[in-house]
Amino acid sequence: MAKRVFLHVATPKSGTTYLQSVLWHNAEVLRKADLLLPGTFQSHYTAAKGVTMRRRMREVDIDIGTAWAQLAKQTNRSPGGALICHELFAPASTEQAEAAKSALDTPETHLVLTARALHKQVPASWQEGVKGGGMLPFDTFVHHVRHNRGKGQWFWSVQDLGDVASRWGAGIPADRVHIVTVPPDSSDPTLLWRRYASVLGIDPATCDVDVPKRNVSLGCVEAEVLRRLHSRQDPRFRKSRGRSYVPWTRKLLAVQILGQRHSAPFGLPADARHWVSERTAAMVREVNDRGYHVVGDLEDLGWRPPAPETRLVSSVTEEEVDDACAWTITRLQEELVKRQPAAVPPTVGPDDGVDGILELLEHIRAADTGTQPRPAPPKRTSTARRLRAGRLSWRRS
């Protein structure tokens, strides 16, 4: 039986990648401080899938049907404290959360929620979706979030702080529900770790926080290029192919190439301030009314003026997209040369845009897997396709 178990059910994009990097980098230090990280990072990911039954996410080697039971069993063996941490626990229903908690043999369960300002979360969520194959234009995504429809329903299932806390916190005393706020961008980057460690009862100075940055942010131009690429729905890199597309569209293209080309960051339009502030105020009231333990300052969740260089994705010009595509094509050609491909390199030039990027990605994929490049699909043009690519406007208020 574990003396206490901390369930970190984070809202996605609330510093989770950084915190998880620090935790796993210091797993042995934490163990000596009487806090076990059971299993591996992958097993926490898979257990979260098992709890929420999100079977359509990318494939893993562990049986998700038994993943939570296995992780809970390891947790229960801890003679001291234990920590389970992954943002994919957030969308669990009340029934799923209760079933998960019932498998934990401990007299003291703590719920930890990291929370970040909504005006940061909306753009970050869209960008993460685009990295994973999303095709919605940013303005459309914002419209969905505002009106809680389509992709907006998923957003609120993991970003409504009061709702997530209610689903996971049922039966847990309010003083054991810890809301850790993410500091504003101008703050000391280690402040989030210090806040988080205080909840766990860990001396933050005992842990090495010099960890590599794993989650690269894209600028507005690069994000739009990646979205347009996915809107092609090239069957060679379609999301439905599961894991096969990830090393090339996400790891190589999004992170290693586009992530190194830094255009201006993007944010919400000024007219979003009213509804974002209203929703934030409602969440803050819920936290206060329920008496949850707040670490940090709830004012960190409020609207702040964007940095001077911040742009709207809708302001990206065709010339900027063309320049980014040409730059990306050059980088991909360099990557292909490094691999010494067996197949004849494609005749792609800097003006070939997204289609040229896809062709080079296919030849890189073929070189990496020792297969032959697959032919490009025939081009199709439809109203739906042009809408997805953002060439037609149907923006609503």
Tens digits of per-residue pLDDT, 349-363? 999 999 999 999 999
3-state SS of 20-58 is HHHHHHCHHHHHHCCEECCCCHHHHHHHHHHHHCCCCCC
By DSSP bridging, strand 4-8 and strand 81-85 are parallel
Are the CB atoms for 296 and 183 separated by under 8 Å?
yes
Measured in Å, how far apart are the chain's first and last C-alpha atoms? 54
Residue owning tokens 């919605």:
136
**382 or 9, which is more confident?**
9
CA count, 13 A, side-chain hemisphere, 271: 7
Helix (H, G, I), strand (E, B) or coil at 340: coil
Which pair of structure tokens corresponds to residue 13?
């994009």
Is residue 328 within 8 A of residue 364, CB to CB? The reply is no
Burial call 258-278: b when 16+ CB within 10 Å, e when fewer: bbebebbbbbbeeebeeebee
Residue 56 confidence class, pLDDT cut points 50, 70, 90: very low
**Sign of the CA dihedral with 206 first, then 40, 80, and 193 last:** positive
Q: Identity (one letter) of the amino acid at 280?
A: T
pLDDT mean over 46-75: 76
Task: Give the pairing type, strands 109-115 and 177-181.
Answer: parallel
The CATH number of 4-125+153-214+268-301 is 3.40.50
For 382, counting Cβ atoms within 10 Å of its Cβ (0-12 exposed, 13-18 middle, 19+ buried), the class is exposed
* Per-residue pLDDT, 63: 63
CB 374 within 8 A of CB 362: yes
397, burial (CB in 10 Å: exposed 0-12, middle 13-18, buried 19+): exposed
The pair of three-digit structure tokens given for residue 285, joined into one six-digit string: 């009231």
- Write down the pLDDT at residue 203: 97
Tokens standing for 385? 């396709």
Specify the length of the chain in residues.
Answer: 397
Residue range 335-352: average pLDDT? 92
In this predicted structure, which of 55-69, 184-198, 333-347 has the lowest mean pLDDT? 55-69
| pLDDT higher than 80, residue 240 | no
**Nearest-10 crossing angle of helices 151-159, 138-147:** 60
- DSSP H/E element including 368: helix 353-369
DSSP 8-class letter at 257: I
Give Cα separations from 5 to 90, 101, 108, 110, 200 (angstroms): 17, 10, 6, 6, 10
Q: What is the dihedral of CA 15, 18, 19, 23, to 10 degrees?
A: 170
Confidence label for 60 from pLDDT (cuts 50, 70 and 90): very low
333 pLDDT tier (thresholds 50, 70, 90): very high
Q: What average pLDDT does the chain have?
A: 91
Q: Domain locations in the chain?
A: 4-125+153-214+268-301, 220-264+317-388
**Distance between CA atoms of residues 242 and 245, nearest Å:** 7
Rounded average pLDDT over 274-291: 97
Structure tokens at 336: 């292909």
Residue 209 has a pLDDT of 95
Burial (CB count within 10 angstroms: exposed 0-12, middle 13-18, buried 19+), residue 304: middle
Q: Which two tokens stand for residue 112?
A: 């930890």
In the chain, what are the helix, strand and coil shares in percent, each to the nearest 5? Answer: 55, 5, 35
